[in-house]
Amino acid sequence: MKISYELNEVDTVAKKIIENATSKTLLFYGAMGAGKTTLIKAIVKILGSKDEVSSPTFSIVNEYEIETGLVYHFDLYRINYIEEAYNFGIEDYLDSEYLKLIEWPEKIESILYEDVNAIHIGFESNNKRIVKLQQTNKIN
């Protein structure tokens, strides 16, 4: 699935991602400022969370309640070594049945072992983005 959208259409794109996702692990790829966190905020809101969604840059992971359980939102930008991910218990999160939304997933690709959905966000212009959703069979 590939969608070109303006920033004011992010809720529509988030709904399409939810409808087309085939995994509970969604990997968000894109340059700084591409809109990864903005898209994740829209996804969490559409899933019914009443929680304030913010980037977990300093906490690394935020947890949000939704009607069907939890959503884990990771921002791995500050991770330099895979050991840092192990130190905060990433494997427990990855093994959970809940939805996992991961920004900067390239930092932990070596430990992903299940089918995931990769979401690539790029710039088309100042106000337009392109998002591609693909099923990725086992990263390792």
Residue 23: CATH number of its domain: 3.40.50.300
The C-alpha torsion from 92 through 93 and 99 to 101, rounded to 10°, is -150
Nearest one of 96, 34, 30 to 61, comparing CA atoms? 96
Nearest one of 41, 31, 32, 39 to 7, comparing CA atoms? 39
Question: pLDDT of the chain along its 140 residues, tens only?
Answer: 899 999 899 999 999 999 999 999 999 999 999 999 999 999 999 999 988 887 776 789 999 999 899 999 999 999 999 999 999 999 999 999 999 999 999 999 988 877 899 999 999 887 899 999 988 765 54
**In this structure, what token pair is assigned to residue 80?**
């330099």
pLDDT for res 88: 92
Please, are residues 100 and 129 in contact by the beta-carbon 8 Å criterion? no
pLDDT for res 55: 76
State pTM to two decimals. 0.92
- Total domain count, the chain: 1
pLDDT for res 140: 45
pLDDT for res 138: 55
Structural domain including 87 reads 2-136
